[in-house]
Amino acid sequence: MAIGRTTKATLLFLALFTAAVVYLSTTIARHECEVCLTFQNSSACRTAASGTREASIESAVTSACGTLASGMTESIRCQNTPPDRVDCRER
């Protein structure tokens, strides 16, 4: 069974699109940070990557607070808690 021109074009487009997404997602995240946070006697460490150090830290804090806090009020309080440890590196 032969593959038609439209099918070949579609497969080529999907391959190029996938390659572009993978390439961009690995080059945009230039900073990776691990943040450890204690909130209400519980601790969590999370890692996040982003284009800036600050965005990486914010994302890691948000992720850690997702497991430590329940509800919007606790989440806001948790995100305003200073981290116990922040380790960042450039990718």
45: which residues sit within 8 A by CB, 6+ positions away? 34, 35, 36, 37, 64, 85
- Mean pLDDT value of segment 21-25: 79
- Mean pLDDT value of segment 31-40: 96
68: which residues sit within 8 A by CB, 6+ positions away? 37, 39, 40, 42, 43, 44, 78
Q: Which of 12, 15, 57 has its CA nearest to residue 33?
A: 57
For residue 28, pLDDT beyond 90 = no
Where does the pLDDT of residue 38 fall: very low under 50, low under 70, confident under 90, or very high at 90 and above?
very high
pLDDT of residue 1: 65
For residue 25, pLDDT beyond 90 = no
Q: Where are the domains of the chain?
A: 31-90
| Per-residue pLDDT tens over the stretch 70-82 | 999 999 999 999 9
